Amino acid sequence: VSLKIMKEIIKAKITQNADMISALLATGNNILVEENKDDLFYGATVDDDGVITGLNHVGRIIMEIRSEL
């Protein structure tokens, strides 16, 4: 799935649910990570020191959507 299509899917899911919008906005400017040790393209891992390993594209997409709300 291309990142553009993934963003459209995630944005549709979030914007159709007022509770999800509120929860996302409540994260403020925090960095969001899609923790997934099995998929370091869409997700990432975070170690005990807060070091993120992986591309975290889903987390980045969600943060981008949050900035557009």
pLDDT in tens, the chain (69 residues): 799 999 999 999 999 999 999 999 999 999 999 999 999 999 999 999 999 999 999 999 999 999 999
pLDDT of residue 65: 98
Decide: helix, strand or coil at residue 52.
Answer: strand
Rounded to two decimals, the pTM is 0.92
Cα dihedral: 2, 65, 9, 58 (round 10): 50
Distances (CA, A) of 52 to 2, 5, 26, 38, 64: 22, 24, 22, 14, 18
pLDDT of residue 1: 79
- Of residues 22, 3, 1, 21, the one with CA closest to residue 12: 21
- Of residues 32, 50, 51, the one with CA closest to residue 42: 32
